[in-house]
Each structure stands twice: as structure tokens, then as C-alpha cells.
Structure 1
Amino acid sequence: MVFSCFALITFGQRTVAPLPKCKNGFVVIAHRGSHLVKPENSIAAIEDAISLGADYVELDLRTTRDGQLVLIHNETVDHTTNGKGRIQDLNLDEVAKLTLNAKDGHLYSLPSFREALKACKNRINIYLDFKEADVAQAYGEIKDAGMEKQVLVYLNKAEQYTLWRAVAPQMPLMSGLPSSIKTKEELSAVLRQMPLEATDNISDPMLVAALKESGLSVFLDVQMADEDAIKWKAAMDKGVQGVQTDHPEALIKYLETNDLRDGLKVSRL
């Protein structure tokens, strides 16, 4: 069964854009790709996430000195490659010479955003952690790749919201919400100011239910070294639509073994 939302949903003055289609009811997001063995944010990690059956691959976007978009989480290349320095101080040709740190002894390069879009097209959705990049350029590359309906953009700064809504108002946007929110009224007030399609940091079951009623999705971050069934069950019992994980293979096996990929709650387990 394909779980998707194609029509724009209007709640008062809020219009919720459709998220990328997923064939599974409970969404599995591979954090930085499937990177327990393959390097994080690499094409190999994307390919592994695809082969495992993840619904999204989470990727981090930054910009080189000459204005090229590449995948990397940190501001510097020090910890994930054999190089040194800030990504914003390196040209793309210098980045291309770097080798990603890998546990399997193979050589991997730091990919461009265009390469990642090509690898993901019609195969897996992208949860785009928008670190430091030009919105118009990023959307242009998404559009050139024909990936407008396969990308959910995660925002890290308030100004990114304004820019994305101006450049690509139809793109679904996601961000954290203030931790001070305790009531439905407070939640509604924040969403009137900054309408979103999804969030990742609301775990109160009452607020999760209110978000769902308003057409929003909640994808909790569960990524950690000691992820297990107890933590996944706790997230699912809150009523969320999916989780971001460092262990996509184990999570998918857990969901399939317990017949839970259709999104049913796990309180019966």
C-alpha cells in the first residue's frame, strides 16, 4: 500500500504541502545514509540505504569556496576525510581529491549534491539537512534533477524558512519547534507564524496527535549507538510517523518481523 498525501490540506490559513510518497506507513530515515560501514554522506551509504529498503536518506548540504554544493555534515573535512580545513575554504576540485574515511578499506569520494540527487532519483526520498547553502541554487539542482517530489527540507535557521517559502513555496519544510510548547494552543500559535509540514522534536503524545490533526508529520530522532527495540517501540507508541536512525537495517528487520511497517502502534508487543 502506498501511503501518500497528494492534495494540499488547508487548516484555516495554513496550507500543508504533500510530503514525498512512501510505500511504507512507518517511515525509516537512514541518518547520513547507512553509514555503520560505508562513510557517512557518501554515495555508497545512500546505495546501502536503498538496498535495505529505507524510505528516506538524511543528507547534509554545504557549499565550497567556489559555490558548489556538496554533502558533508561538519564545517570542516578534518574528521570525515583525509584532508584538513573548512569546506567553505576549499574549491570543488580540491574536494574531489579528498578520500572519505572508511571502515571497509575501500576508497570513497565526497559527493556533490547533483551526484546524490542522481543516485536517489525514483529510488529513495531525501531528508535534506540544509546546513549552509544558497536556497535558489539548491532548489535549482533539485528541479534540474526532477526531484521536487522526493525531497523534504530540514531547516536550521529562521532565515532559511523565509527564503525557501519565497523561492519554492511548494516544497515541504521541516524544523524543530520551541521546547516551551506545552499546549495545543501554543502549538497552533507557533504554526500560524511558521507553517511547516513536519517536525522532529515533539514527543508528547497529545501534541503529536494535534500535529497529525493539522496535517503535519513527526519524525523523531532515535539515532544513537545503542538503539534497540525498546527505544523504537517508545517512539512508535508516541504516535509518530517515523524515526531517523543510525541502524536502518536493524530497525527495518524489527518492523518487518513484527509486521509494523504499515505504521501500526506497537503497544501490543
Structure 2
Amino acid sequence: MKRPLLYLLWMCLLAAASCSPEEERIPAAGYAQQEKPAALPEDRFLTIAHRGASAYLPEHTLPAYALAVEMGADYIELDLRMTKDGRLAVIHDNDLERIGGTRGQVSDKTMDELRNLSPGPAFNEENPELAQTSYEQLSIPELRDVLIRFGTAVNYYIELKAPPEGGGMEEAVIGELERYGITEKSGQHDLPPVILQSFSEKSLVRLHKMRPEIPLIQLYSFKENADLSTEDLKYLQSYASGIGIPAASAHAGFIEKVEGWELDVHVFTVNEEQDILRLIRMGADGVFTDRPDVAGRISSSE
């Protein structure tokens, strides 16, 4: 009798694993009864300050964000990573060598340990013509530092970097946004107060279930000409308001195809005037840029 019982147990475990919602996409039709993704503004080209005005000041620092606001950026962009103690650090790389000048990873450090690291020295070394010794006193901020500093006076474009399984990061981000009233009021231009983005499809689907009124952007890292199948676009419509793609992969045919599905296209990272102008004329809906002053000037003149 042992072999049949073990066999049945094994089959049950296989069946349970094959039905796990995390293992495969839920068909788009399964969202038919849920709210549609939030709409982004029509006929408006967005200037998104990539890590703040990071061409001029150390990236992801409060002064870089303040300068982006002064330059008229529609959104300030934040990259978030979860620390060892479950807090939300505003930093792009998990590896700390480039920004912190030290070995280790964000995921292995507490937020207090990260605060002892400065992005200033790296910026000064890479930009000697802009270097200031005072930048070495700047530290890696936590999400709440940025939210406390700027409140509802600005709009936030936030990327969840490598969100762990289980939804803890999504809950933490939404919790912080709600705590500081960011989801309730737009800072400027009648734009959505916050847009969330990620390369993780599962993370965005979880976010849509939690707060369907927040626009979500699915990121892609196309190496060549961007393309998505009809099946991909149909599924995207169930949870996302748009997509983000690298500048080198953008082309007019793809942008027209995506926008035919009522999805916006935001392009990263674009700093040269001719490239920004080309994307505007191509039909893109916004760019991530280290130079929000340049992008804002060009978009306002078109």
C-alpha cells in the first residue's frame, strides 16, 4: 500500500505546483471584471528627470531632485531597492562599487549603513568640471526622505528594482506613498501624482490589484528594434498604462503599434537635443533624461 499512497501524494504535489499563479501569466480575460489601468494624459510629452537632474548633480540625491524641479521636469524618477532591514533605498545599482565606492550589495546592507555612503565622490571623479567637495557630504536617501522633502509639490516616477517574491516591496512602496499623501494629490500640471514602473511583470500585476488607479509602466530592455506580439499587447492592456523602452530600440512603427492598443511609450535615457526631437516627432509620449532643462525646452517648442 505504500507505493500507491506515495504516488498519489506525488501527483497531488505536481498538480498544485502546476496551478501556482506565480508560474505563468493569468489570461488577460481573467481581469475582465477588474478596473482598467489608469489613463495617462493625452497629447502631452512628459519630461522625466532620470535620477533627478543627474547630468549636473550626484544622481538620486535631494539636490539633484530639487534642481530637476527648478528645471520644470514633469516627474522626478526614483529607483528603489529593498535593504537588508526591509527599507526602501533610492539607488539604481545593487552593487555598491560604482556609487558607494565599496564592496557589497544594497540587499545585504541596512538603510543606516547605506546612509554612511556618498555618491558624491563618484560624481566628482566622472565630472571634474562640475565637482564640488560639498557633494561628498551627500548620502544615499531613503524613499521617505524624498517624500518628506518634496511632498505633494512634485510628481514621482518610481521604479521597483528586483522586487522579491511575495509582494513585500509593493506593499512597502504603496504604504509609504499613502503615508505621505502622495496618491491623493498631483503636484503639478494635473498629471497623475505617481507612476510606478518595473521590469517585473508579476510585480506590476500585484500593484494593479492593490491600486488600479495608479498608472503602471512595463519596462523592456530590447537590444535592437523593439517589438511585441499581439498577445503581449493584449495582456499589457490588462494591467499597464504604457511601456518603457531603450532609445536605441525605438522606431515609429513600433510606437504606432503600441499606441494603437492605447498604451503610452516612454523612452530611456535620452540627453541629446536631436535625439529628443526625433522621439517627439516619432510619436513617443515622454523621455527619461539626465538633462530635464533640455528636454523641457525642446518639447515646449514643438
Query: TM-score range, shorter-chain basis?
Result: 0.7 to 0.9
CA distance in 2 between partners of 1:222 and 1:132 (Å): 19
TM-aligned CA deviation for residue 159 of structure 1 = 1.9
Match of 1:157 in 2: 200
Match of 2:189 in 1: none
CA distance in 1 between partners of 2:290 and 2:55 (Å): 7
TM-aligned CA deviation for residue 81 of structure 1 = 2.2
Residue identity over aligned pairs, in percent, reads 23
CA distance in 1 between partners of 2:108 and 2:269 (Å): 33
Larger radius of gyration: 2
1:79 aligns to 2:98 (yes or no): yes
Match of 2:77 in 1: 58
CA distance in 2 between partners of 1:93 and 1:229 (Å): 39
8 A contact 1:38–1:104 mirrored in 2: no
1:124 aligns to 2:158 (yes or no): no
8 A contact 1:200–1:219 mirrored in 2: yes
Question: Structure 1 residues 167, 79: closer, same or farther in 2, change over 3 A?
Answer: same
Match of 1:246 in 2: 290
TM-aligned CA deviation for residue 210 of structure 1 = 4.2
8 A contact 1:32–1:40 mirrored in 2: yes
Q: SS in structure 1 opposite 2:36? A: strand
TM-aligned CA deviation for residue 182 of structure 1 = 5.2
TM-aligned CA deviation for residue 214 of structure 1 = 3.6
- The 5 Å alignment of 1:103-118 reads 103-106=131-134, 107-118=137-148
Match of 1:264 in 2: none
Q: Match for 1:169 among 188, 200, 212?
A: 212
Question: Structure 1 residues 176, 100: closer, same or farther in 2, change over 3 A?
Answer: closer
1:211 aligns to 2:246 (yes or no): no
1:199 aligns to 2:243 (yes or no): yes
Q: Match for 1:15 among 12, 36, 43?
A: 36
TM-aligned CA deviation for residue 82 of structure 1 = 4.5
CA distance in 2 between partners of 1:111 and 1:213 (Å): 39
- How big is each residue's C-alpha offset from its partner over 1:174-230, in whole Å with a ceiling of 9 and x where there is no partner? 0135968758xx34x22322321011227343442343344322111243xxx4322
- The 5 Å alignment of 1:35-46 reads 35-46=54-65
8 A contact 1:199–1:218 mirrored in 2: yes
User: Gaps spanning 5+ residues in structure 2: where?
Assistant: 1-30, 124-130, 164-168, 184-191
- How big is each residue's C-alpha offset from its partner over 1:221-244, in whole Å with a ceiling of 9 and x where there is no partner? 243xxx432211211111112111
Name the structure with the higher helix share: 2
TM-aligned CA deviation for residue 79 of structure 1 = 1.3
Question: Structure 1 residues 49, 176: closer, same or farther in 2, change over 3 A?
Answer: same
